[in-house]
Amino acid sequence: MPPPGDGPAHAIAGIFAAELKVPAVGFDDNFFDLGGDSLMAETLVLAVQKRFGVKLQTSVLLEAQTPREFGRLIASLVPEHPARELIVPVSGSVGQEPIAMIHGITGSALFANRFSRRLKEKYAIMAVRGMGTEPGETPYSTMAEIGTNYFEAFISVTGRHPEVIGGICVGGLLAIEVGRLSHEATGKRPAIVLIDPPSPGSAWLKPMPDDRLTERRRRDIVRKVVYWRLLRDTLTTVGFGQTRLGRHLRKKAYKSALLQAAAGFVPSSYPCDILILASSEWGATTVKDYKGWASNKASVKTVVMPGTHNKFRKANMDAIDAEILTFLSARSEAARENPHRQ
C-alpha cells in the first residue's frame, strides 16, 4: 500500500508515461531526466489538473519532478475522501497490483486476513469494511451510494482505478457495482471475484423457493431497520454504546441496513471477467442465475466447492485462494496476448 500522501503517485506515473510516450515510469523517475521539455510540461500539468480537479502552474514541475513528489503535492491539495478509512490494508506494498476485497453481510474486514500467504505475497490486498460498523457512523442507504463511496475511497487510497475487485457473500454484488464504475471510468474490463454471492435480484440474499422482493418482504425489512436502529441509538444516547450489548445492536443495525439496500438489487451487466466460487449449498442456483444475468461481453467462470454457505470460506480456504490465483494469472496472460480486448 502507498504511504500516506503517495496514493496519487500511481495515477501521475501513468500520466508521465503517456505524455513522455514511454512504456512505464517509476515513482522516483525524474520528468526532465526522461526527456521532458517545456511543451510536454504544459500538457502534463493540464492532464494532472483534469484528473484531480486542481489548478496548477507549469512551474510546479520544478518542485515536484517525480511522480512521488507530484503525488504528495496533489495529496496536500485534494481533500481526503471521507470513506477513505473504510479501506483496510491487509498485505502488499507500492508496486504490487491491489485487490479490493469487499465485506459480507456483517461489514467486517477481518475475513480478508484469511487469504493465503501466496495471494498476499503477490497482490496488495485492500479489505473494505462497511460504513456503520464503527461508533458514530451512519450506514449508507443504497447500493449506488455504497458502491460510489467504495470506488472513490479506493482511488483516494491507491491513486488508481480498481481493476480487481472481490466480495464475499453480499459483498459480491457490491464488487460488481464497483467494477461497473471502474469500467465506465476507464473502458477496461475489470476482474470480479465473487465468493459464494447471493443471486442478482434476491430478496432474501440466499436461495429461497420464492425469492421475489414482494411488498410484504419489503415491509418486514423496513421494520427490522427501524427496530435495530432505535435500540442502537437508545443505548448510545444513555452511554452504553461501547458495551457488549451496544456493539451487538450496532452490528444488528448495520446488517439490517445493508439488507434493505441489497435486497432485490440487480446490478448492471457490462464487459468484465468474473470468477464465481460457490458453495454446494447455493451452487446450483448461483451458477444458473449469474449465467442468466451476465451479458455476452462478460466472461463467467464458475467453481462449486463442498460446504454450506456459513462455513464455506473456512472449509475451502486453500482451494479458494488457488482458484483466485489461477484466474488472475490466466487473465493476465490473455491480456498480454490480446491487449486491446474490450
Which residues lie closer than 8 Å to 14 by C-beta, 6 or more apart? 25, 160
The whole-angstrom separation of Cα 150 and Cα 140 is: 11
Q: Last residue of a domain, which of 28, 58, 77?
A: 77
> Looking at per-residue confidence, does 40 or 339 come out higher?
40
> Looking at per-residue confidence, does 124 or 93 come out higher?
124
Residues 38 and 108 in one domain: no
> Looking at per-residue confidence, does 54 or 261 come out higher?
261
Residues 31 and 46 in one domain: yes
CB 190 within 8 A of CB 163: yes
**Residue 9 burial (10 A CB sphere; 0-12, 13-18, 19+):** buried
Residues 167 and 282 in one domain: yes
Going by pLDDT thresholds of 50, 70 and 90, the confidence category of residue 7 is low
Sign of the CA dihedral with 277 first, then 268, 255, and 215 last: negative
- pLDDT score recorded for residue 340: 65
- pLDDT score recorded for residue 271: 96
- pLDDT score recorded for residue 342: 59
Residues 142 and 283 in one domain: yes
Residues 184 and 308 in one domain: yes
Domain that holds residue 70: 9-77
Strands 124-128 and 87-89: antiparallel
| pLDDT tens column, 179-236 | 999 999 889 999 999 999 999 999 999 999 889 899 999 999 999 999 999 999 999 9
DSSP state of 24: -
In a domain, 19, yes or no: yes
| Strand locations in the chain (E) | 87-89, 98-102, 124-128, 164-168, 191-195, 273-279, 299-305
Going by pLDDT thresholds of 50, 70 and 90, the confidence category of residue 36 is very high
The CATH number linked to 15 is 1.10.1200.10
- pLDDT score recorded for residue 94: 60
Residues 179 and 290 in one domain: yes
CB 171 within 8 A of CB 102: yes
- pLDDT score recorded for residue 248: 96
The CATH number linked to 151 is 3.40.50.1820
- pLDDT score recorded for residue 1: 43
Is the pLDDT reported for residue 50 higher than 90? no
Task: Supply the Cα-derived Rg of the chain in whole angstroms.
Answer: 22
Going by pLDDT thresholds of 50, 70 and 90, the confidence category of residue 4 is very low
Instruction: Transcribe 241-266 into DSSP letters.
Output: TTSHHHHHHHHHHHHHHHHHHHTT--
Going by pLDDT thresholds of 50, 70 and 90, the confidence category of residue 2 is very low
The whole-angstrom separation of Cα 324 and Cα 164 is: 11
CB 263 within 8 A of CB 201: no
The residue-averaged pLDDT of 241-249 equals 94
Residues 142 and 45 in one domain: no
Residues 22 and 117 in one domain: no
In a domain, 222, yes or no: no
Q: Last residue of a domain, which of 21, 56, 77?
A: 77
- pLDDT score recorded for residue 215: 95
Residues 68 and 97 in one domain: no
In a domain, 244, yes or no: no
- pLDDT score recorded for residue 3: 46
| pLDDT tens column, 137-193 | 999 999 999 999 999 999 888 878 899 999 999 999 999 999 999 999 889 999 999
Count the Cβ atoms, other than its own, within 10 Å of residue 147.
23
| pTM (two decimals) | 0.82
CB 86 within 8 A of CB 240: no
